[in-house]
Amino acid sequence: MRQAKTNQEKWLEGAKGSPQNRVMETLDKLPPRPSHLGERAGAIWRQTGKLLVEAGMLARADLGLLARYAMLRAEHEAVMSQLAGMTPDFEDKGQVGMRAFALKSSSELRQIDEALGLNPVARARLGKHSPAAAEKSPLTELRAARERRLKSAACGGKDG
C-alpha cells in the first residue's frame, strides 16, 4: 500500500513547466519543511531558506541540500553545547567521538555553505551579487569622479 504524500512532495508536484525547468528555477516561496526535520532543524530550514529565497538563490534542486544543512547544523549545535559543558578528557571515548563528529560536521557545513552560497565568496562565484549595490558603492563613485576630472583635464579644463 502506498503511503500518503508529504506536504513537500505535494508542493513539488505543483510546479509548472518541464521537469528540467522545475528543478533549476529559483523559488519565490519556501516550501513546507520536510517532515523528518526536528524542531531545531526546522527552524534552521525556515531561517536559512527564507534568506536564500529573498536573495533569489534557492532552486528546487537545492532543497535536499538545504534539508541536509539544517539537520547537520542542528546536530552540530547540540554536540557543541554538550562539549562546552564538559572538562576535556581525551581518555573518554564518548568525548573523543563527539569531538570527531564536531570536526567532521563543521567541515561538511562549510562545504554546504559554499554550495548554497551562504558566504560572500560563494555568492561572488555564483554571480549572485547585487549590481545596484555595486553601482552605489563609494569606490564606484570615486572612480566616476576621477573619470570626470581626467576628462575635464583632457579638454583643457572645459566641460565637454
Residue 59 pLDDT exceeds 60: yes
Distance CA 69, CA 118 (A): 11
Q: What is the pLDDT of residues 64-119, one digit of tens each?
A: 999 999 999 999 999 999 999 888 888 889 899 999 999 999 999 999 988 888 88
Distance CA 26, CA 116 (A): 12
Mean pLDDT of 21-28: 66
Category of 4 on φ-ψ map: left (φ > 0), alpha (ψ -120 to 50) or beta? beta
DSSP letter at 34? P
Q: Give 48's pLDDT tier (boundaries 50, 70, 90).
A: very high
Under a CB-based contact definition with an 8 Å cutoff, are residues 49 and 30 in contact?
yes
pLDDT at 101: 94
Mean pLDDT of 117-130: 71
Residue 75 is placed in which grid cell? 546536530
